[in-house]
Structure 1
Amino acid sequence: MDKQAFYRQAAALVQAQAFADAEARLAEFLCAHPDDEIARSIYGSALMRQDKIPEALEVFVENTRRHPSSWAALADLGFAAMKAGDADHALASFEEVVARNPDFYLAWCNLERLYFDRQDYKAAVRASDRAETCDPLDGAYRDIRQLMQSDRRADAEKIARQMLQQQSGHPRASFFLAHLADTVGAHEARRDILRASIEQHPANVMLRRSLVEALEAMGAYTAALAEARALTDIKPDFTAFWLLSRICGHVADYEGALKAAEAAAAFLEEGSTELGKVDLLRGHALKILGRRRECEEAYRACTVNTPDNGAGWWGLADLKDYHFSSGDKEAMAALAGNDGLPDAQRCQAAFALARACENDQKPGEAIGWYKTANALRTDAAYDPLQHADFYRRLKESFSVGCLERRAPREMLKGPTPIFVVGMPRAGSTLIEQMLASHSRIDGTMELQALAHLERRIRIEGGRRFGKQFPESIADFSAEDLCRFGQAYLDETAIYRAGGDFFIDKMPPNFERIGLIHKILPHAIIIDARRYPVDCGYSAFKQHFAGGHDYSYDLGHIGHYYNCYLDLMDYWQLVLPDGIMTVQYEDTINDTEAVVQAMLAHVGVAFEGACLEFYRNRRAVKTASSEQVRQPINRKGVGAWTTIAEEIHPLFDSLGDATLKRFAAYAPDGAR
């Protein structure tokens, strides 16, 4: 008899689930050939496929007895032991397998899982790394890389999916598909791909890092925090603690962020360029925590450890009143003028130097450097026509009729959100600090929760109704809206401390007032407003960490302000009782009256602590964190009056109508 032909026939019967026929033929064959290793292996596999695990174990044990030097027979036994839940037996079997055949991929994969389950993470990571070196699909993965270099994305994706059919959960194929999902903003798909692979490859550090980043991109910060902490247990290294520090910042655990940053630094050698990144992270956390001296030391260390990094200089300058030496200013000027460095670093150095000149009472030099700094923000992309068109669509979509359908208030469980919205640099942080000083109101941070929720609503609306957002909003039922509102309340719980109210201070949420009204009908909305030239010039002087692409061009700032004003006029028209406008100039002129009015709008009794907001030591994560730790002052009013001619594009873009509308709030000498 042709043994190879018999093996093929028997395996085909097992594959076709003709188990009785397969067992009968194999039993007969083994009677005649009791030492045939392959036939006995197929026989055990047939039993395994039927979940006859004890019988399969007996067959495989017998095979190892008859073939004590066979790594393949031992591997069969290891697989069966894993299936039986006998981790000790499985571990011993696979350790012996790789001792005999160090390049057996599946043995390393199973050892990874077995070590991981025992929380022997070092051994699990070693097994994961070793598996990659003997990956039988390595050639296919190299093909993927070559196809991507040739911009043949669809062909590369096809190969990756074929790899997953051959090896379920294959790490590199999964990582590649997750990357593709990320490039189109499909963060939920990316998460699902990675989690499916991690189930089978739990110690694969590449997958776990990517999962943290996917959850971060989704705004699922609680889950991201859990995964980041797990990563520091599995592979404690610089990257793991760096990620953990970043995620701690997202959930307002700034002490945790600081501790993780310091743990990350411990993995670096002296002189490492990564030290500057850690210094910067520490500086940000210390600033938010109000630990000024240590914050300055961290930012200063950043300028020393990474002298080509302008972020350290801007960190110091953004403290508003930091005094720079002449040597500091020379260093910043040299960095800003070095066209061999990335624009991002030159830009921040130029912003810092502009602030230094301003603090030295040299407004002419300051505006020159501010213009240089803004011109270096080459990654900013603002399309005025596209922006205006989106606001037109918002107004058309959130019609009076659409706004009538809302989530049932009685179905929403959680405290009342207070949204503080408006233009940046318009006093929203001051409002937040005042309100957060009240005993019934929790201060949080600039929450991304609503923006992330809107992204999911966009995706769901496109999938269910075939419409873009905001047009899709009209098709969601009251039950859908309630689900969205509850998701927001649940996802912001990590930031709250048990108050009856909590603040969501994210200025651009003025775009989402219609959405807020529909999914959170009980929400309170306060619009922070400031004289447009003061507001616009202050934005022009600020290097924002992200977003606000309009703010790097004076003409764009005026256009954006007018779009904001027009949209807020619309919300006031269709929601006449839903929004309170707080003018910054009124706040500094009669603080107590404004505070009393805001508290009345919220529906809480007046408390004197709201007037002494600067005594509140809560963490503040905005560009105004230093200012709100001081009593009310007029430092920012009319800062542009001596260089008005230099910022004429801002006046031109705002236009006469807007300037006249706010003439009563113009600084002295500018009316």
Structure 2
Amino acid sequence: MQYNAPKPPGSPRLKSTVPDIDNAHRAAVTALRDGRLRDAHQLCLQILQADRRHADAWFICGVIAGQNRQHAKAVQVLHNACSLAPRRAEYRAELAKYQVALGRPRQALESARAAASPMPRSSATLNTLGGVFSHCGEHARAIDCYRAAVAKLEADADSEAGPAERAELYFNLAVSLQFAGQQEEAERRFEQAIALRPDYFKAHSALATLRRQTPQHNHLPRLEALRGSARSAADRLHLGHALAREYEDLGEPARAMDCLDWAKREQRAAVAYDFAAQRRVFDSLKSTFDANSLAPAAAGCASEEPIFIVGMPRSGTSLVEQILGSHSQVFAAGELPQFPQQVAQLVAGGDGAPAAAELDAASVAAAARIDPAELGRAYLEATRPRTGHTPRFTDKLPRNFLYLGLIHRALPRARIICLRRDPMDTCLSNYRQLFAVRAPHYYYNLDLQTCGRYFIEFDRLISHWREALPGAVYELSYEALVEDPPTQVAALLAHCGLPWEERCLQFHRRDNAVATPSAAQVKQAIYRTSVGRWRQYGDAVQPLYELLREAGYYA
């Protein structure tokens, strides 16, 4: 439904327009709870015709706009609700949620901190705040909110929250604990979520990644028994990846690959990924940002704070971020979505672009016309307050490799590091990874051969950047890094203009949150067991090998 926001509040009108505003309000709340958004919207419009200063009617209108994915309107309308009732924590929490959706972390944190002081009483509001703090990288505050929400539900035997709502809270707390490295409690909380909702497939897949499974301690019987309950494509993705992970841990790669095929088949058909369209994006980037357009460097933002770590996912980007983040001058900011967001917003000519905007051939051409200095400043501002408290910070969003031309224009003094890993290991690791279910830029990983084709285009684009931006992109081999860490880390620090610090080799001893699919691995010392892993999979990966061999990667 197309949501039309009412006019802003002004002087209250006569309340005789609606005979009983209280009844209309109760009906609107019920309609919203039941999912009848159109009815709720119409009732709130009637209320606001009678009383422009009815804060909860504005709030409900904001919630409806947000549920219709009209995030800019949601923020506008929720501001009205907050201005009329500034102490209502649920209003500010909802506002913060949609500020996150618009890529405004600074504003979202301001709203969330206001809502959390004092700590709200509503478990639903605390759950919303936990999500905001988690998205903004404040995992300790997220854990505080989720713990408080869980405590309130556990203390209130008469709570209206059903098993699904309770399970979601336990799951959210567990995920934040996992980011914070508190694996034992995270495991317990995931199990609590599953006890309340046995078919909570997201919890099963998260639980499977927490630790290495053994013949004595695994979840395979429980997971296999759930196959018949996985009805949606998303359910199958989560369950199949959980099964695959545990079979791999038990040394059964062939069964793991069967589970992955079962997991991805339905989603592959549902999304109908258009690889040809993705190839056109790669081609547009190469033709638009050629050597002539990139040299000399444009007059962008002069800051040298950012260190961009890019590459294919699962190629060692998290490892490099943890190494650099151990340096006294560097803050590891994680996978920041802000650069793609700011590009999308400047292309759109406003600030209403979605947080996960995708590049296409048309937007590449438009992005080339963005003022570089404006883009650089907008990016830095959007990363605050998460960044800015150390001389340097890392941005480890792997798909920023698509934006290297724009990054070099906007931030010519930023350092760029591109991870390179064996093609077979890279493609297989991408295929084995459960990425965000609704993220189109990861749809290539629903098919192993498409992973190979995507890698080939990635490699060609990096070759283009190497020629168009000579000396600007430092390419680091994952295999070389794990084989000789001292030499490679010294060269890495030198490229970044950072003095040597021994603790960069002791990154695994840091007590920090890691918001990445590789969180468990990067909390370990450097290991070599991932090198050449693809050879364990035999015939299952032979077609991929032939594809890459024909492309020239293997003799």
- Give the TM-score range, shorter chain: 0.7 to 0.9
2:209 — aligned with what? 318
More helix by share: 1
Q: Deviations over 1:366-398 (max 9, x none)?
A: 222222222254565521011011122222222
Judge conservation of contact 1:175–1:207 (CA < 8 Å) in 2: no
Judge conservation of contact 2:18–2:47 (CA < 8 Å) in 1: no
1:607 — aligned with what? 501
Task: Return the match for 2:124 from 230, 239, 243.
Answer: 239
Task: Return the match for 1:384 from 248, 267, 275.
Answer: 275
Q: Deviations over 1:414-468 (max 9, x none)?
A: 55200000101100011111111112221111111112212202211999xxx94
Judge conservation of contact 2:205–2:241 (CA < 8 Å) in 1: yes
Q: For residue 635 of structure 1, give the secondary structure of its aligned residue in structure 2.
A: coil
Q: For residue 350 of structure 1, give the secondary structure of its aligned residue in structure 2.
A: helix
Task: Return the match for 1:482 from 355, 362, 373.
Answer: 373
Task: Return the match for 1:214 from 94, 98, 111.
Answer: 98
TM-superposed deviation, 1:102: 11
TM-score normalised according to structure 1 size: 0.69
| Counterpart residue identity of residue 420, structure 1 | I
Judge conservation of contact 1:219–1:452 (CA < 8 Å) in 2: yes
TM-superposed deviation, 1:277: 1.5
2:265 — aligned with what? 375
Distance 2:275 2:18 in 1: 61
Distance 1:134 1:347 in 2: 39
Within the alignment, does 1:145 sit opposite 2:33 as a pair?
no
Within the alignment, does 1:523 sit opposite 2:414 as a pair?
yes
Task: Return the match for 1:260 from 145, 148, 154.
Answer: 145
Task: Return the match for 1:578 from 427, 450, 472.
Answer: 472
Task: Return the match for 1:366 from 231, 256, 268.
Answer: 256
Within the alignment, does 1:504 sit opposite 2:388 as a pair?
no
Instruction: Please show how residues 422-571 of structure 1 align to structure 2 within 5 Å.
Output: 422-460=311-349, 468-476=362-370, 480-496=371-387, 498-546=389-437, 547=439, 548-571=442-465
Q: Deviations over 1:45-70 (max 9, x none)?
A: xxxx9xxxxxxxxxxxxxxxxxxxxx
Q: Deviations over 1:601-650 (max 9, x none)?
A: 10112221112222222221112112122222122222232323112343
Distance 2:326 2:509 in 1: 9
Judge conservation of contact 1:407–1:485 (CA < 8 Å) in 2: no
2:241 — aligned with what? 351
Distance 1:628 1:336 in 2: 31
Task: Return the match for 2:111 from 227, 235, 260.
Answer: 227
Judge conservation of contact 2:48–2:57 (CA < 8 Å) in 1: no
Judge conservation of contact 2:199–2:229 (CA < 8 Å) in 1: no
Distance 1:554 1:462 in 2: 37
2:290 — aligned with what? 399
Judge conservation of contact 1:333–1:353 (CA < 8 Å) in 2: yes
Judge conservation of contact 1:445–1:620 (CA < 8 Å) in 2: yes
Task: Return the match for 1:631 from 512, 525, 538.
Answer: 525
Judge conservation of contact 2:62–2:73 (CA < 8 Å) in 1: no
1:39 — aligned with what? none
Judged with a 3 Å threshold, the aligned counterparts in structure 2 of structure 1 residues 210 and 244 are, in CA distance, closer, same or farther, namely closer
Judge conservation of contact 1:462–1:468 (CA < 8 Å) in 2: no
Instruction: Please show how residues 631-670 of structure 1 align to structure 2 within 5 Å.
Output: 631-660=525-554
TM-superposed deviation, 1:147: 13
Distance 1:557 1:501 in 2: 33
Q: For residue 442 of structure 1, give the secondary structure of its aligned residue in structure 2.
A: strand
Q: Deviations over 1:511-553 (max 9, x none)?
A: 1111111211111100011111111111111112353121121
| Counterpart residue identity of residue 145, structure 1 | R
Q: For residue 486 of structure 1, give the secondary structure of its aligned residue in structure 2.
A: helix
Task: Return the match for 2:25 from 121, 124, 132.
Answer: 132
Judge conservation of contact 1:225–1:244 (CA < 8 Å) in 2: no
Within the alignment, does 1:303 sit opposite 2:172 as a pair?
no
Within the alignment, does 1:597 sit opposite 2:481 as a pair?
no
| Range 231-240 or range 584-593, more displaced | 231-240
Judge conservation of contact 2:343–2:367 (CA < 8 Å) in 1: no
Judge conservation of contact 1:333–1:350 (CA < 8 Å) in 2: no
1:419 — aligned with what? 308
| Counterpart residue identity of residue 333, structure 2 | T
Distance 1:376 1:267 in 2: 39
Judged with a 3 Å threshold, the aligned counterparts in structure 2 of structure 1 residues 489 and 147 are, in CA distance, closer, same or farther, namely closer
Within the alignment, does 1:330 sit opposite 2:221 as a pair?
yes
Q: For residue 308 of structure 1, give the secondary structure of its aligned residue in structure 2.
A: coil
Judged with a 3 Å threshold, the aligned counterparts in structure 2 of structure 1 residues 434 and 394 are, in CA distance, closer, same or farther, namely same
| Counterpart residue identity of residue 479, structure 2 | E
Higher relative contact order, structure no. (Cα contacts within 8 Å, ≥ 6 residues apart): 2
| Counterpart residue identity of residue 483, structure 2 | N
1:280 — aligned with what? 171
Q: How many residues are matched?
A: 520
TM-superposed deviation, 1:251: 2.0
Judged with a 3 Å threshold, the aligned counterparts in structure 2 of structure 1 residues 134 and 335 are, in CA distance, closer, same or farther, namely closer
Task: Return the match for 1:192 from 69, 76, 93.
Answer: 76
Distance 2:53 2:362 in 1: 33
Q: Which runs of 5+ in 2 are unaligned?
A: 1-10, 353-360
TM-superposed deviation, 1:300: 2.3
Judge conservation of contact 2:321–2:396 (CA < 8 Å) in 1: yes
Which one has the largest radius of gyration?
A: 1
Judged with a 3 Å threshold, the aligned counterparts in structure 2 of structure 1 residues 189 and 572 are, in CA distance, closer, same or farther, namely farther
Judge conservation of contact 1:348–1:543 (CA < 8 Å) in 2: yes
Distance 2:50 2:409 in 1: 47
Judge conservation of contact 1:442–1:499 (CA < 8 Å) in 2: yes
Judge conservation of contact 1:405–1:518 (CA < 8 Å) in 2: no
1:30 — aligned with what? none
Judge conservation of contact 1:268–1:275 (CA < 8 Å) in 2: yes
TM-superposed deviation, 1:579: 0.1
Distance 2:87 2:523 in 1: 45
Judge conservation of contact 2:47–2:57 (CA < 8 Å) in 1: no
Distance 2:444 2:533 in 1: 20
| Counterpart residue identity of residue 440, structure 1 | Q
Q: Which runs of 5+ in 1 are unaligned?
A: 1-48, 50-74, 80-96, 106-128, 149-155, 664-671
| Counterpart residue identity of residue 311, structure 1 | K
TM-superposed deviation, 1:302: 2.3
Instruction: Please show how residues 30-45 of structure 1 align to structure 2 within 5 Å.
Output: none
Distance 1:177 1:278 in 2: 23
Judged with a 3 Å threshold, the aligned counterparts in structure 2 of structure 1 residues 213 and 391 are, in CA distance, closer, same or farther, namely same
Within the alignment, does 1:618 sit opposite 2:512 as a pair?
yes
Q: For residue 349 of structure 2, give the secondary structure of its aligned residue in structure 1.
A: helix
Instruction: Please show how residues 88-127 of structure 1 align to structure 2 within 5 Å.
Output: 105=21
Q: For residue 420 of structure 1, give the secondary structure of its aligned residue in structure 2.
A: strand
TM-superposed deviation, 1:584: 0.8
1:10 — aligned with what? none
1:44 — aligned with what? none
Distance 1:198 1:449 in 2: 26
Judge conservation of contact 1:160–1:174 (CA < 8 Å) in 2: no
